[in-house]
Amino acid sequence: MTDRERDGEPAHQLVSRTLRAGIAAGNYRDGGRLPTEAELAQQYRVSRQTVRRAFQDLVADGTVHRVPGRGTFVRETGGRYLRHHGSIEDLMSLSSDTTMEVLTPLHRRVDVEAAGRLRLDTDVVYTITFRRMHEGIPFVVTTVHLPEHIARHIADREEIGPGGTSPHTVIGLLEPHLESPIVEAAQSITVSCADTVIATGLDCAPSHPMLRVDRLYFDATGQIVDLSISHFMPERYTYRVTLRRSTP
């Protein structure tokens, strides 16, 4: 890593994203001190100013806090799984410290609502339901709906079949096969209650309050490739996103 931008991403953002991933993976315990600016500058082969800007990003989104004269410390999460979302890469990086366990394997079905949201000219979609685990604890159940021409790219993968497990995300499995890369996700966040499938997957009572996150993924041509509906258990999950002022 160098101080110059890499693949269009400023060096300080790359450092902050790497540190977030390490924190989410448990490499730094709650309340623990991060390495110093000098240590990280040497580790990542960047300037201390670059590390300082990375720390400012992490402070701004609440991932860490700084104590003058003592250092930079990870904010305590109370044992919840913590994930920072600010890019498509952040969504894909769930594969770095969680595991997907299939509850209902990918299958063909008629779903008028899902097909409408995918803007299909047919009512047929391909659907998979799975949960994600962190350190052996389930924290989210997700149902993904795919158009048939997208689903066929991964239909034969063992990890999305009956009893399948994988560290990968569905979009991570899909992207190497897509003619156009995924570049955007339209997201809505609401509250919901656990149905029987969700309650069983998360080992909680039916009707338990859930954080529902719906995402539509678009490729570079503007076509929808994936509808993802996730139900997170609030006691086991913390959602974080960075908002920045737009520049003229």
What pLDDT is stored for residue 96 in this prediction?
Answer: 62
| Terminal C-alpha separation, the chain | 29
Q: Which amino acid is at 171?
A: I
Cα–Cα distance for residue pair 26/228, rounded to 1 Å: 26
What pLDDT is stored for residue 81 in this prediction?
Answer: 60
CA 164, 172, 122, 130 dihedral sign is positive
CA 5, 88, 81, 68 dihedral sign is positive
pTM over 0.75: no
What pLDDT is stored for residue 3 in this prediction?
Answer: 42
Instruction: List the one residue out of 199, 167, 171, 151 whose CA is nearest residue 100.
Output: 167
Classify residue 132 by its DSSP letter: E
What pLDDT is stored for residue 73 in this prediction?
Answer: 85
What pLDDT is stored for residue 74 in this prediction?
Answer: 84
Classify residue 75 by its DSSP letter: P
- In degrees, to the nearest 5, what angle opens at C-alpha 79 toward C-alphas 75 and 82? 60
| 189 backbone dihedrals φ, ψ, rounded to 5° | -125, 125
What pLDDT is stored for residue 237 in this prediction?
Answer: 81
Residues of the chain with pLDDT under 70: 1-8, 25, 30, 76-96, 240-248
Residues 186-240 pLDDT 10s: 989 999 999 999 999 999 999 999 999 999 999 999 999 999 999 999 888 877 6
At 9, list the tokens: 């991403």
Q: Which amino acid is at 234?
A: P
Q: Are 44 and 38 in contact (CB under 8 A)?
A: no
What pLDDT is stored for residue 33 in this prediction?
Answer: 86
What pLDDT is stored for residue 168 in this prediction?
Answer: 87
- Backbone angle region of 140, left / alpha / beta, with phi > 0 → left and psi within -120 to 50 → alpha: beta
At 156, list the tokens: 């034969």
